[in-house]
Structure 1
Amino acid sequence: MLKEDQELTLNPQNYSLLTDLYQLTMAACYVGEGIAERRGSFELFVRNLPDHLGYLIAMGLAQGLDYLEKFRFNEQQLEALQKTGIFDQAPPEFWSLLQTGSFTGDVWAVPEGTAVFANEPLLRVEAPLWQAQIAETYLLNTLNYQTLIATRAARMRDIAGKTATLLEFGTRRAFSPQGAIWAARAALAAGFDATSNVFAALQLNQKPSGTMAHALVMAIKALSGSEDEAFAAFGRYFPGATLLIDTYDTVAAAERLAQKMQAGEAEIRGVRLDSGDLVTLSQKVRSLLPTVKIFASGDIDEWEIKRLQEAKAVIDGYGVGTRLVTGEPVNGVYKLVDIDGIPTMKQSSHKMTYPGCKQIFRTEVQGIIKGDRLTLADEPAQAGEIPLLQLVMKDGKPLNNPEALGTIRQRVQTSVKSLPAETRNLSNPMPISVKISAKLEALRQSLVV
């Protein structure tokens, strides 16, 4: 038996092993059948949008390209695979391929921050079959999750408006430490102002943001006998920091803070409400602290933001956690569409795919999307159409440096503004119509068995 390693942390040296077993067993089979080096094209897309979403915001490409660029197997990893006994009948060439191989293919993708719809490829991998196959698991993991977070974050920004502050607080609820980092990145790229995740913020050259927890108030009150002393203590070390005022009596805390401000004994810039009737409490706090920014947290999402707005809550910013970093998944799939120039398609009931390498052409009129057209990659654009899929990696090397978060954030903003109002609706949104080109439909029909 292999020695257990309870650390279970991921680093770039482990990228190659972060895959499903069947990717490796299929790769071994490809080697045995003499087809491992045949050129395979796989496209990553969603068959259907998740419920209540009229669009998706593509995200995670930067991490996907980083994975492909660093994809390698080392001797220790190969030895560990061999010791499992699973590959005892695999051809010897399989091991030599893994030992010397790296990703040498091309990648086409829509830029991060672009709005996409069902059946539209977020990316296409064109590479030797064994390489493109093994890459499936990691690419789906990062693009599916970051696309979910970016889409939800973009919707929250759209509903909250330009001036509201949006803070990502989801680290403790994300599905894993790695997921928390990706969630922070996707939220920032999609329009959030800051994240509480210190590691993610510093890695992304951002300033982390946060307030305080009830524990500090409870601890200092228990020892000093005063909630006000907890506020004063925090303010001594972090002047102007946002104070959490709902540990006990929210209105009473606001009244005492107002008295201290009037007496010139305290400078309060922000308070946070984390429970209770946020509408009534925010209105009362605003009447007591008219110059202080009010932040709300506690199961906030786009529907709650809209409800609070409609109920005339007085809130300047939102801390969003659980409902941003969890939720209904983006069920992206990764399907073989071409092998050595031979178009392929899946024909299973309710899981049919479109064959061949494809392109997405988008038509906009006065900055509003009027429709998309899904075509074969070699079809020309029609008048006014813009191709969305771009070549981003050639022969295993990225063609450009990763985009800055600010660039992606601006693209998200432009993308969301370009969507028709009915597509941006929270309830019963109407996705953009995606037309299938006559040539692509004819190819599909020709392959139907």
Structure 2
Amino acid sequence: MAPLADLYQVSMAYGHWRAGRHRAPAAAELFFRRPPFRGSFALGAGLAEGLRGLRAFRFSAADVAYLRSVLPSTIDDAFFDYLATLDASEVTVTAIPEGSVVFARVPFLQVKGPLLVVQLLETTLLCLVNYASLVATNAARFRLLAGPDMKLIEMGLRRAQGPDGALSASKYSYIGGFDCTSNILAGKLYGIPVRGTIAHSFIMSFRGLEEVQPRVSRAWDRNGNGNGNGNGNGNGNGNGMRLDSGNLAQQSKEIRGVFQACAAHFQVPWFGTIPIAVSNDISEQSLEEFRREGSEIDMIGIGTNLVTCPLQPSLGCVYKLVEVNGSPCLKLTEDEEKMTIPGMKTIYRLYDAAGHPFMDLMALEEEPSPSAGQELGIRVLGRLGETTKVIPTTVEPLHRTYFRDGQVCEPLPSLPEVRTHAQVSLNLLSPAHRRLHEPQPYPV
């Protein structure tokens, strides 16, 4: 996992090593500057992958040999010998639990350890967290628009950014609230429920119904009575209808009427409830239209607009040094948004009497912890010139220690458990912070 890094990380590591600063205690924080998709929140994801990467962090002999071939020949041989000894045994990582709602500027991960190793981890951790959190957030937005009862299937394998991107999309869409995936390999690797419909080509391959009955229909009919049509929609009996073009909401209502009329005429009640699935470049706008027009849709397959995140291709997470040798570090720049907040911090989430989080509080490690019912004088980012008084009903410390002494030290939840936690975390948000368009900014 160590070679999953930008070359300049190794160049900087060499500079630290030459200066004798490579073992200086340091700390860095991983966060994003702006909430994605013009919303107020993101779902933090990729933590488990990051922890596995830390556990496997080392340069093999082949890795070191390759670095020798691409770095300048003037680099001291002893540096390469040192790289061969590196691991993450002296690194400590604290983080907000995976699947939690996270907000701009609040550290999702905090990394402490020797300066050289902390620096080398930057690109690796950003790679593992950035897309994971982005697609989980995108999936959560689709879930919020669809409502809790709609079945959502991730169908982006053929449109994703390569096989690795497709697998990540399936995994983190599931965390974000999707029910299943069409990706067989993702189902095998991660235990995600696998579902599917049928393509136009299957229908086009037959000349008429006489070629379909009875053998083809019985292929999906568990009772052998010729009722299935092979849609594989996830209701357990293989019955279903897929719509893939035109006015999907209107068609679903018309088809439901036909199903119900047939059910009444032939006295087969189940026929009236046959699931109707839709696809066809489904976007957030599509879901808003379904809700506005009303529909009889039971399942929605979403691919391109889920896995490629076209509204925002990158979350823009950054990894910034905040402390070296016990001294806070501050990045100064004319761009105020890119200035960092120095020093190691403890992060708290403050809740109101209704149980909604209303503010995240960053305090220096040495500062006393806030208490429920206690008045706090705080300064909100972006309004640092004024002090605001707040009284939280509940105070929740957000970070847990997940990695220490080279090992994961906190039990990691299963994928379904992370998915459930994500939905709980989203449901705690107030409607003003949860809404997807022009939400109320969340103060930090």
The bucket for the TM-score relative to the shorter chain is 0.7 to 0.9
2:348 is paired with a residue whose SS is strand
2:157 is paired with a residue whose SS is coil
After superposition, the C-alpha distances for 1:279-324 in whole angstroms (9 at most, x for unaligned) are: 2211111111232111111222333212211111221111111111
After superposition, the C-alpha distances for 1:193-219 in whole angstroms (9 at most, x for unaligned) are: 11111111111123311122222222x
Which residue of the partner structure matches residue 256 of structure 1?
Answer: none
Which residue of the partner structure matches residue 143 of structure 1?
Answer: 129
1:166 is paired with a residue whose SS is strand
Q: Hey, what's the Cα distance between the residues in 2 that align with 1:40 and 1:231?
A: 70
Which residue of the partner structure matches residue 387 of structure 1?
Answer: 397
After superposition, the C-alpha distances for 1:26-78 in whole angstroms (9 at most, x for unaligned) are: 11111111111112211000111124222101011000000110011111121
2:407 to 397, 402, 411: 397
1:16 is paired with a residue whose SS is coil
Which residue of the partner structure matches residue 132 of structure 1?
Answer: 118
Which residue of the partner structure matches residue 94 of structure 1?
Answer: 79
Structure 1 residue 232 displacement after superposition: 6.5
1:353 to 337, 340, 344: 340
Distance 1:341 1:155, change over 3 A: same
Q: Hey, what's the Cα distance between the residues in 2 that align with 1:377 and 1:272?
A: 55
Which residue of the partner structure matches residue 364 of structure 2?
Answer: 376
Contact map agreement 1:244 1:271 (CA 8 A) in 2:
no
1:426 to 396, 411, 436: 436
Contact map agreement 2:111 2:118 (CA 8 A) in 1:
yes
Contact map agreement 1:168 1:319 (CA 8 A) in 2:
yes
Contact map agreement 2:196 2:231 (CA 8 A) in 1:
no
Distance 1:146 1:287, change over 3 A: same
Work out whether 1:24 is the aligned partner of 2:10: yes
Gaps of 5+ in 2: 222-227, 260-271, 373-394
Contact map agreement 2:401 2:410 (CA 8 A) in 1:
no
Q: Hey, what's the Cα distance between the residues in 2 that align with 1:400 and 1:430?
A: 34
Work out whether 1:292 is the aligned partner of 2:279: no
The 5-angstrom pairing of residues 38-437 of structure 1 reads 38-84=24-70, 86-104=71-89, 105-218=91-204, 220-221=205-206, 225-226=207-208, 229=211, 235-239=217-221, 240=228, 243=231, 269-289=239-259, 290-327=272-309, 328=312, 329-350=314-335, 351-365=338-352, 366-384=354-372, 385-434=395-444
Q: Hey, what's the Cα distance between the residues in 1 that align with 2:93 and 2:211?
A: 58
Tell me which amino acid in the other structure corresponds to 1:369: P
Q: Name whichever of 281-290 and 53-62 sits farther off.
A: 281-290
Q: Hey, what's the Cα distance between the residues in 2 that align with 1:61 and 1:21?
A: 24
Q: Hey, what's the Cα distance between the residues in 1 that align with 2:286 and 2:401?
A: 39
Distance 1:47 1:241, change over 3 A: farther
Contact map agreement 2:28 2:321 (CA 8 A) in 1:
yes
TM-score norm. by structure 2 comes to 0.84
Q: Name whichever of 329-338 and 148-157 sits farther off.
A: 148-157
Q: Hey, what's the Cα distance between the residues in 2 that align with 1:303 and 1:52?
A: 15
1:243 is paired with a residue whose SS is coil
Q: Hey, what's the Cα distance between the residues in 1 that align with 2:74 and 2:209?
A: 69
Structure 1 residue 176 displacement after superposition: 2.3
Q: Hey, what's the Cα distance between the residues in 2 that align with 1:319 and 1:276?
A: 15
Gaps of 5+ in 1: 1-14, 246-266, 435-449
Tell me which amino acid in the other structure corresponds to 1:277: N
Structure 1 residue 227 displacement after superposition: 6.3
After superposition, the C-alpha distances for 1:335-384 in whole angstroms (9 at most, x for unaligned) are: 00111211101112221010111222111233211221122233332123
Which residue of the partner structure matches residue 8 of structure 1?
Answer: none
Distance 1:227 1:72, change over 3 A: farther
Contact map agreement 1:29 1:90 (CA 8 A) in 2:
no
Tell me how many residue pairs correspond in the alignment: 394
Tell me which amino acid in the other structure corresponds to 2:371: A
The 5-angstrom pairing of residues 8-23 of structure 1 reads 15-23=1-9
Q: Hey, what's the Cα distance between the residues in 2 that align with 1:64 and 1:228?
A: 55
1:167 is paired with a residue whose SS is strand
Q: Hey, what's the Cα distance between the residues in 1 that align with 2:210 and 2:442?
A: 53
RMSD of the TM alignment (CA)? Answer: 2.0
Tell me which amino acid in the other structure corresponds to 1:56: A
Distance 1:268 1:343, change over 3 A: closer
Distance 1:36 1:334, change over 3 A: same
Distance 1:347 1:54, change over 3 A: same
Contact map agreement 1:303 1:426 (CA 8 A) in 2:
no
